[in-house]
Amino acid sequence: MSLVGSDFAAKITNKAAGALPRFFLVPLIFLLISIRFYLKLSKYSSKRAANSPIKGKSDTLIYEHIQLPNGLKTLVIHDHTAETASATISFNFGSFLDPPEYPGLAHFLEHLLFMGTEKYRDEAEYVSFISENSGSCNAETSGEYTLYHFSIKADFLEPALDRFSQFFTAPLFSASCVGKEIDAIDSEFLIHRQHDFQRYRHVRAFLTNLSHPFHNFLVANKATLTGKDGGNIRDEVISFYRNHYSADRMSLVVVGKEPIADLIKLVKDKFPNVPGSLQPFDCYWKHISRAVEENLGSIIWVKTLQLTRTIEFVWQIPDQMPLYMSKPASFLAGIIGHDGDGGYFDVWERF
């Protein structure tokens, strides 16, 4: 039974007619219809096989999903017109797994992986190779995921992927680089501290549940990485890497102009030695509310450094990870945030 049917929509609309200005009714009805559509889409998406990409009729790309013996899930994509090749690896964890003694450790580890491997020992080699061949590379550590990616001229996919794969097979974690990257992380923190968005994010974290890892300091600086117990930060990084950087917690996407069979062979050649078969970790935060009851319904004023004025409304909603196929929150945000005629943004501008 649909949660948002025509009878329900009619009742809501009739009640709203007496309480809302007329120009709110059309967006409200559209929103209710959209929710109903999205609920049906969620059911449809959940029935699809995980390895069956949804293709448009004009999509000429060729997709193939494989899983290596070590558990690495990979999607290879053949694009015969590609001038640029690329690869992305994501892990299903991030800073929420930071050890309490070293806030920001996951972010720090992300930095260190760029600083040389057993096969390519020069700490600048990877970034230099990518940039010299008209490419770019970066990484991101969020609370619940960690992402590494690069793009490069299509002809250089194989050597780039060889360098990239070494991150997850044999990183150096040299002591000299550890010290330099602590300074780099601290400089990054000092810069971010001057950005109003980052300051606002920390205010939000401060107001959340103490038991939820979102409340913690996740970005790292020199103070958090030196630790309170005088421990060796390099040993902590290596321990975190060995405990969590497992092939069965990774997903890889590779895009290139090579035939699909060649791309599959490339993946099998480059990633067989990534360790796998670790025990699944407990995402304990999934069962903990971020919100603190007494903070709900509050107005929080944040003093900005820049001459900007912003208003934000924040709601606690259910975890969206299980709904990644249908993305209801993004769908509804697109409707509410639409700035065309008759949209909510258009209405607010008239006030």
Distance in angstroms between the alpha carbons of the first and the last residue of the chain? 39
Q: CB burial class (10 A; 0-12, 13-18, 19+) of residue 84?
A: middle
Q: How far apart are CA 53 and CA 305, in angstroms?
A: 45
Q: How far apart are CA 196 and CA 36, in angstroms?
A: 37
Tally Cβ neighbours within 10 Å of residue 324.
9
**pTM to 2 decimals?**
0.79
293 is catalytic: no
Q: How far is CA 44 from CA 48, 54, 187, 327, in A?
A: 7, 12, 47, 13
Q: How far apart are CA 115 and CA 184, in angstroms?
A: 12
pLDDT confidence of residue 229: 60
Provide block-wise average pLDDT over 10 residues at a time, the chain (351 residues): 38 42 47 49 43 81 95 96 97 94 95 97 97 98 96 98 98 93 93 89 91 92 80 91 94 98 98 85 85 89 89 84 88 85 78 68
> Domain ranges in the chain?
6-49+289-350, 62-270
Q: Which amino acid type is present at position 90?
A: S
pLDDT confidence of residue 350: 76
DSSP 117-178: BSSS--TTHHHHHHHHTT-EEEEEE-SS-EEEEEEEEGGGHHHHHHHHHHTTT-B---HHHH
Which residue of the set 110, 144, 181, 236 is catalytic? Answer: 110
- CATH level 3 topology of 62-270: Cytochrome Bc1 Complex; Chain A, domain 1 (3.30.830)
- 284: which DSSP letter? G
DSSP 171-193: B---HHHHHHHHHHHHHHHHHHT
Q: How far is CA 86 from CA 77, 78, 246, in A?
A: 10, 11, 21
**Residue 150 CB contacts under 8 Å (≥ 6 apart), including other chains:** 86, 87, 130, 135, 136, 137, 138, 160, 164
